[in-house]
Chain A
């Protein structure tokens, strides 16, 4: 399978080419470091400042994953409530949509006013953007079970609990995982954008604050170093959930079969 192999190498190759082009271009054109640092300079800056950046990285990671966990819990619970009752859905779904369509950066300042703890405010902001994809996907998933399988469960007298565990949850799983993949990326974006708005200073700060801080001091390489960590985080989240989804669905779901 040489063409298959080639397809696997291709993404790494394009990234490598981009970095090499960047490095060579910056050196050849003599662009100053404070305008556009070369990748090698960014890597060195990252290495030299790693200890202080790592503390901020941990903070951002904590906000991101806490928000995602809360979005999962909330999204699944509300989706179950919607699946059980059309009335609940009719009453609450518009609110969820309003929450979804309002740009986060527009409501973040308000949240920062009303919520005293900055950490809690950032958490809430990240949760707001991560919540909806999980909710809407899980709702669709819970409704997606095969009509005839539902008939069979009725014919064989399944209890509501059996129906939930053996039919609805497995049917909803691929949809939930698709929502999780989207929300994973969104909660990182939420955590970072909210912190940008907050302009947090002080002891506990995330990577967004470090980027702002470095930009005030014209430490462009440091901005890129923090950005690199954010990109790595996003890729890790994406890759992790892809792997999880393949593990859980690989043997039965078409989308995940090779």
Chain B
């Protein structure tokens, strides 16, 4: 499969001199679900920002749809890349409908033009009845669903997720994981999913990249050879257990302690 995004020997040094990434390489194929795990501050989020074109590398090569057509760090504008942050990052002054409308609105679509796409997306994340609610009236899990609907309403080719479920309780988290896989199987976008959780990364992904402590680099890649759809039973299979063990061991080697 053709690569959807590529990082080749990327280095990122911030203006304050901090070296966040060194020599980091990874590739994600079109339609692939890939996770990135690593200790806190290892530069996982920086990788996402580089791929989204929100930051530029100090050395190395980044190829991603957001950077095509000469789009610069000042203003990438490829609606085919979407970003989901750890916080839902909704506009508190706007309804659920208007929040999901935002990417299309910025691309010049009127409310009427966008209506069917938004309605369909809210249906898919199970929030069809909440169009006119304000974020303040929603639970944490529901806000995250709005955030995902907003990310997917542009039909992205690449979905970047930065620990999106880390702040949720375990039940909401498991449900959102299952729902995310369902959406992914319907739409077939590529996912680069950053997480702290070894279990989450193995449950979701086809491949897991393990990063070392700062300055971060990709040290290992663990393949999870199990078919989709995956459900709760998958968590009891040997493939799952072997993969979590391998990822945990790689993390331990990378930083000297286990982070399940």
Residues on A close to B: CB < 8 A?
146, 148-149, 151-158, 162, 166-167, 170, 173, 249, 251-254, 257
Q: Tell me if A153 and B87 are in contact (CB < 8 A).
A: no
Instruction: Decide if B85 is an interface residue (CB 8 Å cutoff).
Output: yes
A166 in contact with B89 (CB, 8 Å): no
The answer to whether A148 and B87 have CB atoms under 8 Å apart is yes
Shortest beta-carbon contacts, A-B, top 4: A157-B77, A148-B89, A156-B106, A252-B92
Q: Is the CB of B83 within 8 A of A153?
A: no
Q: Which residues of B contact A (CB under 8 A)?
A: 49, 52-54, 66, 75-79, 81-83, 85, 87, 89, 91-94, 102-103, 105-107, 134-136, 154
Bound CA span A247–B75, Å? 36
Once the chains are docked, how many angstroms separate the CA of A155 from the CA of B81? 8
Task: Give 20 CB contacts A-B under 8 Å.
Answer: A148-B85, A148-B89, A149-B89, A151-B83, A152-B83, A152-B103, A155-B54, A155-B76, A155-B81, A156-B77, A156-B103, A157-B76, A157-B77, A157-B107, A166-B91, A166-B102, A249-B93, A252-B94, A252-B135, A253-B93
Smallest CB gap from B85: residue in A: A148
A170 CA to B99 CA in the complex, in Å?
A: 13
Q: A148-B89, A155-B76 are in contact. Are A166 and B54 (CB under 8 A)?
A: no
**Residues B134 and A156 in contact, CB atoms below 8 Å apart:** no
Q: How far is the CB of B94 from chain A (nearest CB, A)?
A: 8
User: In the complex the two chains form, what is the Cα distance from A148 to B82 in whole Å?
Assistant: 12
Task: Please tell me if the beta carbons of A158 and B106 are within 8 angstroms of each other in the complex.
Answer: yes
Cα–Cα, bound, A152→B49 (Å): 11
Q: Are B106 and A162 in contact (CB under 8 A)?
A: yes
Nearest-neighbor residue (CB-CB) of B83 within chain A: A155
Q: List residues of chain B with CB within 8 A of the CB of A154.
A: 54, 75-76
A residues near B106, Cβ cutoff 8 Å: 153, 156-158, 162, 166
Output the residue of A153, A154, A155 with the most chain B CB within 10 A: A155
> A151 touching B54 by the CB < 8 A rule?
yes
Verify A155–B66 contact, CB threshold 8 A.
Answer: yes
* Cβ contact within 8 Å between A252 and B134: yes
Cβ contact within 8 Å between A155 and B53: yes
- A173 vs B85: C-alpha distance in the bound complex, in angstroms? 24
Q: Give complex CA distance A81, B93 in Å.
A: 24
Partner of A253, one of B53, B82, B92, B154: B92
Quick check: A254 and B136 within 8 Å, CB to CB? yes
A257 to B134, CA, bound (A): 12
CB distance from A220 to the nearest CB of B (A): 50
Residue of A152, A154, A173, A249 ringed by the most chain B CB atoms within 10 A: A152
Name the residue of chain B whose CB is nearest to the CB of A158. B106
